[in-house]
Amino acid sequence: YHFIVIMELFMSLKKLTEPIHTEAEKTKWSKLLISGKMNIHQYGQYLYNQLQIYSALESRAADLGLFTQYPKLNDIKRIIPMSCDLSFFPYEAGLEECTLEYIEYCRNLNADEVLAHIYVRHFGDMYGGQIIAKKLPTPSEETIESWKDENGETPWGDDIGWTEMFRFDDRAETIKYVRSILDIRMADEAIHCFQWAIQLFHSLEKRFDL
């Protein structure tokens, strides 16, 4: 019964956010991200901004004690994986204006609002991120070579070493856990989070003249 209630709440939340989610998916940037045609400079700039966005959100979650209250959320922290990924891609210093505004916005979020943003961002990475990871550009050969040891081996072996932000341990269990702490009242803030994401997409579209 408890599982049924959780799923009903989750599906209700998903339904309420579906229109804005669809709007985000229809942006030029979102389409480019899953097209397999994004270049290393575009992805580097995107990841550079995303790292600061996730840093601000996870910092606020930590300040509010959410990682203590919900221990399983520690498994979805993305800062270290994203930092590792960013080391493979070039980017220009200077965050997008909407990224700077989002960082400020995060400082005043309450616990439920933070969870709403985690639903949009981290939960989205656990789902759509699995598709995105397969479409990302390959770093320059020079960058890859710099990671090889004297035997020509890389630390990531047969895996792709620059898609760590989309790699989750116990992904199915983590998804189930995140669902269990979501609430239908988070819908409005989740919609706001999608709007922030769309702002970044449009800003990057303008930067790269898409």
What's this model's pTM, rounded to 2 decimal places? 0.92
User: With contact defined as beta carbons under 8 Å apart, do 54 and 76 qualify?
Assistant: no
Q: What is the pLDDT of residues 132-177, one digit of tens each?
A: 999 999 999 999 888 888 888 888 776 788 999 999 988 888 888 8
Q: What is the pLDDT of residues 40-86, one digit of tens each?
A: 999 999 999 999 999 999 999 999 999 999 999 999 999 999 999 99
User: With contact defined as beta carbons under 8 Å apart, do 100 and 200 qualify?
Assistant: no
pLDDT value of position 177: 87
pLDDT: which is higher, 203 or 3: 203
| pLDDT band per the 50, 70, 90 thresholds, residue 8 | low
Q: Which of 18-32, 95-109, 153-167 has the lowest mean pLDDT?
A: 153-167
Instruction: Give mean pLDDT, residues 17-21.
Output: 90
**Residue 11, pLDDT above cutoff 50:** yes
pLDDT value of position 3: 41
pLDDT value of position 10: 53
How many other CB atoms sit within 10 Å of the CB of residue 8? 11
**Cα gap 125→119, rounded to integer Å:** 9
Instruction: Give mean pLDDT, residues 181-185.
Output: 82
DSSP annotation of 186 reads: G
pLDDT value of position 7: 52
- State what percent of residues in the chain have pLDDT above 70: 94
**Residue 105, pLDDT above cutoff 80:** yes
- When the pLDDT of each residue in the chain is averaged and rounded to a whole number, the result is 90
Closest C-alpha among 92, 93, 119, 98 to residue 177: 119
Q: Which two tokens stand for residue 83?
A: 């930092």
